[in-house]
Amino acid sequence: MSTQGKNETPSNGQENSGTSEEAPAELTAVVDDLLNSLSTKFASVSSEIFEKIEAISKRLDQMEAQLQQTGTTSTPK
């Protein structure tokens, strides 16, 4: 004889059929939200990295131009 009531969780850890059908849907929603959040953060970080690379590239171009200008104005020894 079983001592479990109708609304009690079975001893094997499974929930009633009504909540077990909701659990995958809830998990899917949480995972989707997490993936969307991570995607947004990744896009933001990627954009920031590309902006910094572009700024560094411009600075290097300016430094190169200054070095070339300095090299052409100085007299060789």
27, 33 contact by CB (below 8 A) = no
| pLDDT, tens digit, 9 for 90 and up, residues 21-33 | 788 999 999 999 9
30 residue type, one letter? V
Q: Tell me the CA end-to-end span of the chain in Å, nearest whole number.
A: 106
Which range has highest mean pLDDT (8-12, 13-17, 73-77)? Answer: 73-77
43 pLDDT above the threshold of 50:
yes
The model carries a pTM of 0.55
Chain position carrying tokens 């809830």:
26
